[in-house]
Amino acid sequence: MCLAIPGKIVELSASDPHRALVDVVGVRRGVDISLVEPDGIAPGDWVLIHVGFAMSKIREDEAQDQLRMLTALGEAEAAMQEAQGYSSDDADPQPEERPSP
Amino acid sequence: MKYIDEFREPELISRTSEEIRRLADPARHYRMMEVCGGHTHAIYRFGLKDLLPSNIELVHGPGCPVCVLPMGRIDDGLSMAAHPDVIFTAFGDMMRVPGTQGSPLEHKARGADIRIVYSPADALKLARNNPSKHVMFFAIGFETTAPSTALTLMRAKAEGIRNFSVFCNHVTIIPAIRAILDSPDMRIDAFIGPGHVSTVIGCRPYEWIARHENKPIVVSGFEPLDVLQSVAMLLRQLQHGEAKVENQYRRVVPWDGNKAALKAMAQVFTLRSYFEWRGMGFISQSALALNEDFADWDAERRFEIPGIRVTDPKAAQCGEVLKGVLKPAQCKLFGNECTPERPVGALMVSSEGSCAAYYQYEHRKHALVSIPA
Amino acid sequence: MPVASPKVRFRDAQIEMAHGAGGKASRRLIEGLFAPILFGASTEPLGDAAHLMVNGAPIAITADSFVVSPLRFPGGSIGELAVNGTVNDLAVSGARAEALVVTYVLEAGLPTEVLEAEVRAMAKAASVAGVIVAGGDTKVVEHGKADKMYITTAGVGRPIPGVRITARSARPGDVILLSGPIGDHGITILLARGELDLEADLCSDTRAVIGLVEALAAAAAPGLRWMRDPTRGGVATALNEFARDCDLGVFVQEDRLPIHDAVRGACELLGLDPMHIANEGQFLAVVAKEFAEAAVEALQRTPGGDAACIIGEVREQPAGSVLSSTPYGGTRIVDMLVGDPLPRIC
């Protein structure tokens, strides 16, 4: 229902505190960053863009965590446990479920 | 592209696909509904069905704001475009959606000032740059899109821009899921939850699905690896007889959603007591309208809206397809009277609609005797 | 094996923008209205140019109109398009353009310098493509009755010896070649209109492809079955027309399609399929398998052909359709474009 794409903050607007320039592999556009301001936004951060608004700051640690977990899939039991070891090292304040192996 | 290419990595995808085959019980048939049209689109675009065992059936849900919009609302919106001073703005998605007198594009061909915008903020900019015109924005979308409309309206109000209004058709996803679960012929085992809606509403609003309906739900991203991983997570829950809300899309979905976005929505919108959904009928408390504070920017109050109602064509079996009772090609009209170029039913209207996606990407594939590998 | 094309009747009540967008609606208009009335006797699939015998001499002839906003955009302008477009239509029909005639429809009030710039752009493009502009005509319409200027060019060319282009000569196992990166022109124009507020360092790919076509013909003429320049409607539409005309299946490996990053970025952002985006300086070719290697090498050796590559092959099935495969084994049907590509948010 909603097309949203990751983009990188290139610069914050000098004239409007709620706007920033983002780059999506060489395509640039000004976006509204009001919704992610509470997370603290700086050039170099990645945000998810929908209809010209940044909806969410992308968490690199979670992305890596997911890829690590998937890399471990189908490998030996030991590798699986190691992956779980990695993920429990990350302090995760959210009370959500982790996928069980 | 960072955060896209990693999640399309062939080796990881084939591993996850193998994992799914290991987890799926061959004696069982699984029906999983992807609530969001974005998932439907991704499933077809990436050919993900080819990576799933045949006993996992993906049922396409109601999460396409264009498809579920009743034809009467399109007529209502286009009635404003008839005013000579009005610039009608909408997302590209709306442009080919037929009203009884034709689509916005057809109205444009006949001379109405109709423009595509990428963002509601662009519609407001158009109002700023055309003070002698009135710019009406035809707002559609679920909770992902509603905050951007809200922020745009707050900005219009703060800047005192009076030649701008919003025709609000924002809808909310939870009542639609509830309507599907409440239907007596419902046959869904588990849900792939809408990832981008959840960046705003978070994961808590789905807890009742797990707790009271005993259905697993995994909030999922949109890349091939995201969708496949979500299917694997749902299979694990089903295998263990569990039903809980899990968040597969943690890189962008906070468990509690986006407070700033929810706050903006609360400041601008009020819940409609009911709203008509194409293919599903009236659903109570399922849509948003502008509240009193924004009455001056509410197109429904500034213009005389005819309030047109167009009954869904009887022969179109959109409701059954939405609930997973029928597959798109099993509808009597599919591919004959109802095609993406000339849609009859709701689900053929947008490329995200399950019938249109099926038509575009899949149906000829299956119409043929054999597909070479 | 001649294929009876399905009868398409043109039932649309009025002309919409989609009828000019090169996709399904355009095809309906041509096959349902123009073809039966104007050239009803022909059973050949419609090509990019007509090949005729005049007093025993073979000639190729074609015409094309150019309507673009803005008139100038990064990498080109309407004048350059008007020359290259017609030269390319002849080239992919298997002919070298010799002469063009041109007509201008001008809106009253058009600054002379704008017109002059386009006339000069045409002269330059014609000299690069090795074609002469032999004559023309001008009409001026009232202010507001046209958008600045429209250009039509008609071209006549000489068939390249040994080349016969027809989709019906294609056989399962033939390979599909693409001359270079796709989508540059369409995305450049979309961005140049400024309505989407997007910026990128991207140029239109407008150019004459005759040099590349001649190199391909020299290397692979006996095995060269079909060519087309995937303009409006993009690669997806051109391949669908081919699949329909030969009643065979087209199989494309999606990860082999050369696409510039900025085109990919814009397509992801706007929800567009790069295979639906217009090109003005590329062409597709179907070549017998035994000529494939020589064909690719010949293209890559020719200036402007370094990104040429094999993107797929012709198969028995799915007859009349285009199937594309992802690197991880998923497949999908690639349909023709319906109308203009519109950005979507959902």
Task: Provide ipTM, 2 decimals.
Answer: 0.92
Q: Which amino acid is at C44?
A: E
Domain boundaries, position B325: 318-366
* Chain A: touching chains (3 or more CB pairs < 8 Å): B, C
Whether C95 has a pLDDT exceeding 70, the answer reads yes
Give the integer Cα–Cα distance in Å for A83 and A88: 9
Q: Which chain B residues touch C239 with a CB distance below 8 Å?
A: none
Q: Of all helices (H) and strands (E), which one includes residue B63? A: strand B56-63
Instruction: Kindly list the averaged pLDDT for each block of 10 residues, start to end, along chain B of length 373.
Output: 91 93 95 92 89 93 87 95 96 90 90 96 97 98 97 98 98 94 87 97 97 96 96 96 97 97 98 92 95 98 90 81 82 87 79 79 56 37
For every residue of A6-26, DSSP letters joined together read EEEEEEE-SS-TTEEEEEETT
C70 preceded by cis ω (within 30°)?
yes
The answer to whether B19 contacts chain C (CB < 8 Å) is no
Inside any domain, residue B313: no
- The pLDDT value recorded for residue B366 is 56
Tokens representing A29?
A: 């556009």
CA distance C323 to chain B (A): 8
DSSP secondary-structure letter at B161?
Answer: -
Query: CB neighbours of C273 closer than 8 A, spacing ≥ 6?
Result: C234, C236, C267, C334, C341
Give chain B's domain count. 2
What's the rounded Cα separation, in Å, for the pair A57 and A46? 6
> How open is the CA angle A30-C344-C150, to the nearest 5 degrees?
85
The predicted model gives C313-342 an average pLDDT of 88
CATH of the domain at B189: 3.40.50.11740
pLDDT for B299? 97
pLDDT at C143: 96
CATH fold group of domain C167-333: Phosphoribosyl-aminoimidazole Synthetase; Chain A, domain 2 (3.90.650)
Architecture of the domain made up of C48-159? 2-Layer Sandwich (3.30)
Task: Give the model confidence (pLDDT) of B175-231 as tens digits.
Answer: 999 998 998 888 899 999 999 999 999 999 999 999 999 999 999 999 999 999 999
How far apart, in whole angstroms, are the C-alpha atoms of residue B139 and residue B146? 8
Strand partners, B277: B281
Whether residues B117 and C195 touch (CB distance < 8 A) is answered with yes
Query: What's the pLDDT score for residue C27?
Result: 83
What is the arithmetic mean of pLDDT over C66-71?
95
Query: What pLDDT was estimated at residue B244?
Result: 97
CB B76 within 8 A of CB B305: yes
Residues of chain C with CATH 3.90.650.10: 167-333
The pLDDT of residue A75: 62
User: Which of A:38-67 have CB within 8 Å of B?
Assistant: 38, 46, 48, 50-53, 55-56, 58-60, 62-63, 65-67
> For the domain A5-85, what is the CATH code?
2.30.30.140
Helices (DSSP H) in A36-96: which residue ranges?
60-72, 77-89
Of residues C234 and C48, which shows the higher confidence score? C234
Q: Is there a contact between C265 and A2 if contact means CB atoms under 8 Å apart?
A: no
* Judgement on whether residues B283 and B325 belong to the same structural domain of the protein: no
Residue spans of chain A under pLDDT 50: 76-81, 85-101
Check whether residue B284 and residue B326 sit in a common domain: no
- Per-residue model confidence (pLDDT) at position B75: 95
The domain limits of chain A are 5-85
Question: In a mutagenesis test of the C interface, which of A16, A21, A27 is the best target, namely the one with the most C β-carbons within 10 Å?
Answer: A27
Residue B368: phi and psi, rounded to 5, are -90, 155
